Amino acid sequence: MARTKLAFAALALTLTLAAVKAFQGMATPGVRVGAVKTVRSDLPPIRVDFRDVAAEAGLTALDVSGSADNKQYILEATGHGVTIFDYDNDGLMDVFLVNGTTFDAKTPGPPSHLYHNKGGLKFEDVTEISGLAATGWGQGACAADYDNDGRKDLFVTYYGHSVLYHNEGGGKFRDVTKEAGLLGAAVRWDTGCTFFDYDLDGKLDLAVTGYIDFDKSKVPKPGAGGFCVWKGLPVMCGPRGLPTGRHYLFHNEGNGKFRDVSEPSGVAKRAGCYGFTITASDFDGDGYPDLYVACDSTPSLLYHNKKNGTFEETGIVSGVALNEDGREQAGMGVAVADYDEDGFPDIAKTNFSDDVPNLYHNDGKGNFVDTVYTSGLATHSQYLGWGINFLDVDHDGRKELFVVNGHVYPEVDRTQMDTRFRQPRLLYWNIGGGRFQDISNSSGAAIGTPWSSRGSAVGDLDNDGSLEIVVSNLGARPSLLKNFAPAKNWLLVNCVGTTSNRDAIGAQVRLYVGGRRLSGQVQNGASFLSQNDPRVHFGVGDAASYDRIEVRWPNGVTESFRGGSINRIVTVEQGSSRM
C-alpha cells in the first residue's frame, strides 16, 4: 500500500525553497502513471448483467476488520480473502469467508464463516457445527486435500498463528496445526497461502507469505512517522517504514506432517517483500511449479523451481517484479491465466491507487513483459485494486478480467479528495489479440456499486455453467455477483489426481473445441488471499461438442480424454482415459 509517486513530480520540484533554487538546475521531469489507451472493439457488444444476490443467498456475515472508520493500524485495513471449495463433496461449491477482529474488542470477536451450499444459490452458515468458529485476525485461506483422503482441508492465515484444519468428514474440521508441525512459536502476520506440489511427489506442500513483522507497540500513531501521511492526510503507518514479513515453505512429509523447508529451499532467503497473495504455476513450462508473490511497496517475487527442492528468486530478471519503468509497485492480488490463448500462463496483478495494474505477458520461457498499457487495462488509475480474477463471462473462450477495489484510508471520505473509501468494481471484456475493453459501466449494478472490497473468488456456485463471484467487503457483508445475462455454451472440468495429488493442483488442462485450443489450470491461492473454484471453466461459444480434453498432470504425465457434449461438468481422473 505504498503512496505511489505523485502525478506532479515534475512540477512539485518547483516547490522548493528559493535559496535552493539559486543552486539547482531545472527540474527533471518526474514519472507519472495514468490511464492510457482506451481500447474499443468492433465486435458486437456482449450482454453482462451482474447483480448482487448475497442477501437472498444467505451470505450475510459482517466482515470485521478493526475500527470501521478510524483505523489506527494497517492490520485493520488489509481485509480478508474468500475461499470457494466443496468441503462436503456434495458437488456444490461452498464458501469460506475469512474474518478479523478489533483491537478493543472485549469479546473475542466474530469468527470466519463457512457457508454450506444448499443448491439453487442458497447458503447456510455452518461455522459452529463445522468446528471453524475460531476468532482472531484472519487474513486468507486455501483449501486442499493435503492428505489425499478425498476431503478438502483448510489452511487459514492469521496475524497471530495460522491454522490448519483437517477435514474429518461429516462436515467437521479439526485443528491439526500443532500435530502437522505448522504451529510457529512466534506471532506472525501470515497473509497468502497456496497448496502445491513443488517436488512432484504427489503430496501437496504449502507456501505461506508474510506481510509485516508487526508489533503494535512499536508502530507509530497515524501521522506520527515518516510513512504515516498520505497526500497530506495523517493516516495509519505502513507498510513502508515497518519491517517486512517472512515467507515460508512447508514440505508435506506424507504422514499428516509438514516440515519447514523455508531456509533450505531458498524461499526464506529473499527478504524485503511485504507479501500478500501467493500463487503457483509452471511459468516457464519446465514441468515444475514456480511461485509468484505479489509484494506491497516492494518488488514482487518469482521463485523459480530448480527441480531439486530449491528455488531461485528471479522476479526482476523474469520481468514480473516491477512495472515497465523498473519501479516497484504496491502489489495486492494476483490472477494467472492464459488470456491470449498462446498456451502460456500470464499474470495480472492489482496495485495501489495512482497506479495501474500489471498484465505480465509470458513468452513461454518464463520471460514476461508488462503489457498493461497496450492491453487497455490501464484505463483507471484512481482505484486501489485488490481481488482480481480471470473468468470467461460471455463464454466465447476468452477470459475477461474482474477487479475489486477499495481504499485503505476511511479518512479520505472526510476530505475533498477525488478518491473515496468505497469504490466500484471493474470488468474488462477480452476482445482478443491481447486487448481488453472496459465494460464496467454496462455490466450490471453489482459492478458499479461502490464497496471497499478486498478478496474475491470465482466459481460456479449453482452449477449452471456461468461463473459467480464472491467478494469480501471490508466492514460489510459480502457480495455475491451473479450474471443474469444469457451466456453461450460451456464446460466445467473437474480434475482428480491419482498418482499426482488428488486435487490435481497444478494440472494443466487443454480443451480442443471447434478448431481452438483453450487453456486452463487447476490452481490454489489466487486473487487477493483467496481461492477460486478448483474446477476449470471453459466457455466454448456456440460449439455443440468438444473434441478432446488434454491434461498434463502435476507429475508430468499428459493424458487425453475423448470429446463429448458441452454444457456439463466433466470429471477426468488421472489414468482413466480410454482414447
Partner 1 sequence: MIAGSVLGKFALLLTVLVALVLGQVSPIPSDQAMALVRDGKAADAIPLLERLLSQSPNDLRARNLLGIALSTAGKREEAILQFQKLLALNPQFLPAIKNLAINEVELGRYAEARGHLETVLKASPNDPAALVAMARVEVALGHVDAAAARIARLPDAAPAALHFEAGRILAELERYAAAAHQFTLSEGGAAPYNVGFNLSLAYLNAKNYPAAIQAGKNLVDRGIVATELYSVLAKAYEAAGKTKEAYESLRAATQLDPRDETPYLDLIALCAEHENYDLGLEIADIGLRVNAAAYRLRVDRGIVLALLGRMEEAEKEFARAAEVKPEETEAHLARAIALMELNRIPEAIDLLRQRRKLRDDNYLVDWHLAEALLKSGADAEAEAIEALHRSIQLNPAIPRSHFLLGKILLQRGQADEAILELKAALRLEPEDVSATYQLAQAYRKKGDAPRANELFAKVSQAKAEASEQQAHRGGLLRIVRNGAH
To the nearest whole angstrom, how small is the minimum distance from the Cβ of residue 272 to partner 1?
4
To the nearest whole angstrom, how small is the minimum distance from the Cβ of residue 37 to partner 1?
6
Contacts of 532 (CB under 8 A, 6+ apart): 84, 389, 457, 458, 459, 523, 526
Of 220 and 256, nearer to partner 1 (C-beta) is 220
To the nearest whole angstrom, how small is the minimum distance from the Cβ of residue 376 to partner 1?
10
Ramachandran class of 280: left when φ > 0, alpha when ψ lies in -120 to 50, beta otherwise:
beta
To the nearest whole angstrom, how small is the minimum distance from the Cβ of residue 317 to partner 1?
5
To the nearest whole angstrom, how small is the minimum distance from the Cβ of residue 159 to partner 1?
21
To the nearest whole angstrom, how small is the minimum distance from the Cβ of residue 409 to partner 1?
11
To the nearest whole angstrom, how small is the minimum distance from the Cβ of residue 216 to partner 1?
17
Of 172 and 327, nearer to partner 1 (C-beta) is 327
To the nearest whole angstrom, how small is the minimum distance from the Cβ of residue 22 to partner 1?
4
To the nearest whole angstrom, how small is the minimum distance from the Cβ of residue 529 to partner 1?
23
Of 381 and 501, nearer to partner 1 (C-beta) is 381
Of 367 and 494, nearer to partner 1 (C-beta) is 367
Work out the end-to-end distance of the chain between its first and last CA atoms, rounded to an integer number of angstroms. 51
Of 11 and 445, nearer to partner 1 (C-beta) is 11
Classify the C-alpha dihedral 438-442-446-450 as positive or negative: positive
What are the distances in angstroms from CA 295 to CA 30, 48, 150, 334?
A: 24, 32, 33, 10
Least Cα distance to 193 among 238, 271, 140 occurs for 140
Q: Are 161 and 171 in contact (CB under 8 A)?
A: no
To the nearest whole angstrom, how small is the minimum distance from the Cβ of residue 341 to partner 1?
21
To the nearest whole angstrom, how small is the minimum distance from the Cβ of residue 266 to partner 1?
15
Residue 42 CA neighbour count, 13 Å, CB half: 1
Amino acid 420 reads: R
Q: Are 419 and 452 in contact (CB under 8 A)?
A: no
Q: How far apart (Å, rounded) are the C-alpha atoms in residues 444 and 485? A: 9
Of 16 and 571, nearer to partner 1 (C-beta) is 16
Contacts of 25 (CB under 8 A, 6+ apart): none
Of 238 and 541, nearer to partner 1 (C-beta) is 238
342 φ, ψ (degrees, to nearest 5): -95, 0
DSSP 3-state assignment of 373? helix
Residue 205 CA neighbour count, 13 Å, CB half: 24
Of 56 and 324, nearer to partner 1 (C-beta) is 324
Q: How far apart (Å, rounded) are the C-alpha atoms in residues 386 and 373? A: 19
Q: How far apart (Å, rounded) are the C-alpha atoms in residues 337 and 339? A: 6
Please report, as ranges, the residues that interact with partner 1 according to CB under 8 A. Answer: 6-8, 10-12, 14-20, 22-23, 26, 28-32, 34-38, 220, 223-226, 228-229, 231-232, 240-241, 243, 272, 298-299, 316-317, 319, 321-322, 324-328, 367, 369, 373-374, 379-381, 412, 415-419
Q: Are 509 and 520 in contact (CB under 8 A)?
A: yes
Q: How far apart (Å, rounded) are the C-alpha atoms in residues 579 and 574? A: 13
Q: How far apart (Å, rounded) are the C-alpha atoms in residues 531 and 82? A: 6
Q: How far apart (Å, rounded) are the C-alpha atoms in residues 124 and 121? A: 10
Of 60 and 382, nearer to partner 1 (C-beta) is 382
Place of cell 481422473: 573
Of 13 and 183, nearer to partner 1 (C-beta) is 13
Of 133 and 322, nearer to partner 1 (C-beta) is 322
